[in-house]
Amino acid sequence: MKQPRVTLEQWRTLQAVIDHGGYAQAAEKLHRSQSSLSYTVTKMQQQLGMALLRIEGRKAVLTPAGDLLLRRSRQLVNDAAELEAVAHNLDQGWEPEIRVVVDAAFPSACLMHALKAFIPLSRGTRVQLNEVVLSGADEALMESNTDLVICGNVPQGFLGDQLIEVEFIAVAHRDHPLHQLNRELTNEDLRREIQVVIRDSGIQLKRDVGWLGSSHRWTVTSIDKATDALAGGLGFGWIPYHHAKRFIESDELLPLPLREGQRRRVHLFMVFGQSERAGPATQKLAAILKENCQP
């Protein structure tokens, strides 16, 4: 690749001349002599083989080519400054990337608010986000390939803090046969109908949660797909209330009048993948998540 002939310092000098209204003003701001700035810009034009400035009266004005290149150079200088900042942050132990695994039951609004709040504090740290179901979070911790996990179960050998409580509710479409019974429902009533269940995303540690007494089960891969299936009248099932809320408010889905077990509460925990080596960026994101989950 051809090496650039113009340095970042030269681009900064040109920007200063334009931003401060001339060589004299720029020289004062940069604490340099006016002649050195003039020489820098002249040399720069020679290297590029084109005029970037023209003098009108006592003021330096950009040529059309100079205007275009100056605008492009601002992003170049900003990128270089950000690169240097990232290098400094890495030297201070700030992680270049945080690997986050989140149980699908965790409210998306809480997660997005936390990530948005983290952006201005991230110092360039990237976030790699992976959504899992049930034991998928356990396996991510056991395989040591994650930095921060939000899960419904804290595996043996790990410590976690309770982050939030999620309520699951049994629902079905308003026209579902279970609602046509117009009475309190029993287990026998449920066994005759299709239950929509969400597949555990884990491979080795699969586990079942909730009522699975129906022999007629349709399995989907996510809570969103389960919600769509239920709203489409394909069966009954338990989904987080925050997923079901808008469908309940619009009467597309109705809570099942179960004799028992209509609602269940699940505690979600936050666990560091390697707590003793959690970097400052991971700890900062964890603190923001906790704050966003406060009632």
Highest mean pLDDT among 47-61, 108-122, 141-155: 108-122
Q: What's the length of the chain? A: 295
Q: Is the pLDDT score of 283 beyond 60?
A: yes
Identify the pLDDT of residue 88. Answer: 59
Q: How confident is the model at residue 182 (pLDDT cuts 50, 70, 90)?
A: very high
> Hey, what amino acid is at 80?
A
The answer to whether domain 8-91 and domain 164-267 are alike in fold is no
> Hey, what amino acid is at 63?
T
Query: 164-267 belongs to which CATH class?
Result: alpha beta
For residue 213, the 8-state DSSP code is -
Residue 130: how many CA atoms within 13 Å on its side-chain side? 22
For residue 144, the 8-state DSSP code is T
How far apart, in Å, do the first and last CA atoms of the chain sit?
A: 56
Q: What is the pLDDT of residues 228-280, one digit of tens each?
A: 999 999 999 999 999 999 999 999 999 999 989 999 999 999 999 877 778 88
Within 10 A of 287 (CB to CB), how many other CB atoms are there?
A: 13
Q: How far apart are CA 253 and CA 266, in angstroms?
A: 21
In this structure, are residues 172 and 236 in contact, taking their beta carbons and an 8 Å threshold? yes
Query: 97-157+270-292 belongs to which CATH class?
Result: alpha beta
Which of 101, 91, 118, 82 is closest to 283 using CA atoms? 118
- Segments making up each domain of the chain, as ranges: 8-91, 97-157+270-292, 164-267
Q: What is the pLDDT of residues 66-105, one digit of tens each?
A: 889 888 888 888 887 767 755 655 556 678 899 999 999 9
Query: What global pTM score does this model have?
Result: 0.66
In this structure, are residues 282 and 147 in contact, taking their beta carbons and an 8 Å threshold? yes
Q: How far apart are CA 129 and CA 148, in angstroms?
A: 10
Fold of 8-91: Arc Repressor Mutant, subunit A (1.10.10)
Tokens coding 138: 């356990």
